[in-house]
Structure 1
Amino acid sequence: MTAQPADFSALMAEVTAVSGKFGHREHVHLTWLAVRRFGTPAAVGLVSDGIQRTARYAGAPQKYHVTVSRAWVELVGHHAAQGGDDEFTAFADSHPLLLDKRLLTRFYRPATLAGAQARAGWVEPDLAPFPWQDGDRRQAGEEPAPRP
């Protein structure tokens, strides 16, 4: 199933129906739903485009951040792929670090995320690899990157 712009609006409505707000937990919930329904690659586009449109509509297009948006979708997608959680509450309980909005600082230096390049395009982590990248490095015979 291909994700469409209307899908973002539907996911947003579903997530905010209970709480009436859209904080970090709701953002992770929306991303989890998008990943489960459309797969991680499609969710990257759906969530990123939806957030960018929402920021533009709110008169704050500068708030959209390419690297942050994609990194969160990929992190949620990685953990969702491990399976076993059919409800968001169980998923959140199983992966509490995803509810920490500072999680990306484990992978990126603050200056990197604050930079224009990361705002406008994808930038790979420069502090520590994502969990799935550590496995790639081990398979290639490299040492895993040190953890912060």
Structure 2
Amino acid sequence: MTGASAFQDLMSQVMAHADRFGHRQHVQLTWLAVRRYGTVEAVALVSEGIRSTARYAGRPQKYHVTVSRAWVELVGHHAEHSDTADFDTFAEQHAVLLDKRLLTRFYRSSTLAGDRARTGWVEPDLAPFPWRTQFDA
């Protein structure tokens, strides 16, 4: 399955029980990607899927490299420490992931608002993520 079709398959699963694609659905899509492909592959899959979706919608400026990767890493970290196969249970166990402002614990708002973070990966500048990263910068 190609990246685009894998992303569409995940989107279909998420949207089968949702009437809109909000933050919870983003987290669920990411959780599914991490469970199926692992965190490293999920970073690429989810990031490219979101980038393509934003471009298709005529809003390529909505895609943000650092925000996309950071969310996949956060969900991946929590998923690695969870044995549940049910997203609702996972979400209850890791409710912090449903807080859209979670990244502000790790990044200054000005950092995330900058072009450097929008177009490339920027490490957290307020506090490090609570795990040792396995990704190249």
TM range (shorter): over 0.9
Q: Could you tell me how far 1:95 is from its partner in structure 2?
A: 0.4
Q: How does 1:1-148 map to 2 (within 5 A)?
A: 4-133=3-132
Answer whether contact 1:3 1:42 (CA < 8 A) is retained. no
Answer whether contact 1:8 1:46 (CA < 8 A) is retained. yes
Which consecutive unaligned segments of at least 5 residues does structure 1 have?
135-148
| Runs of 4+, deviation exceeding 4 Å | none
Q: Could you tell me how far 1:20 is from its partner in structure 2?
A: 2.3
What's the TM-score, normalizing by structure 1? Answer: 0.87
Give, as a single letter, the amino acid of the residue that structure 2 aligns with 1:30: L
Which consecutive unaligned segments of at least 5 residues does structure 2 have?
none
Go from structure 1 to structure 2 and tell me whether the alpha carbon gap of 1:107 and 1:86 turns closer, same or farther (over 3 Å shift). Answer: same
Give, as a single letter, the amino acid of the residue that structure 2 aligns with 1:18: H
Answer whether contact 1:3 1:46 (CA < 8 A) is retained. no
Give, as a single letter, the amino acid of the residue that structure 2 aligns with 1:120: T
Instruction: Determine what percentage of the aligned residue pairs are the same residue.
Output: 66
Answer whether contact 1:3 1:43 (CA < 8 A) is retained. no
What's the TM-score, normalizing by structure 2? Answer: 0.94
Whole-Å separation in 1 of the counterparts to 2:2 and 2:34: 10
Q: Could you tell me how far 1:3 is from its partner in structure 2?
A: 5.9
Moved more, 76-85 or 32-41: 76-85
Question: What does residue 146 of structure 1 align with?
Answer: none
Quote the RMSD (CA, aligned, Å).
1.3
Q: Which has the larger radius of gyration?
A: 1
Deviation digits for residues 93-122 of structure 1 (CA, Å, limit 9, x no counterpart)? 000010001000000000000000000000
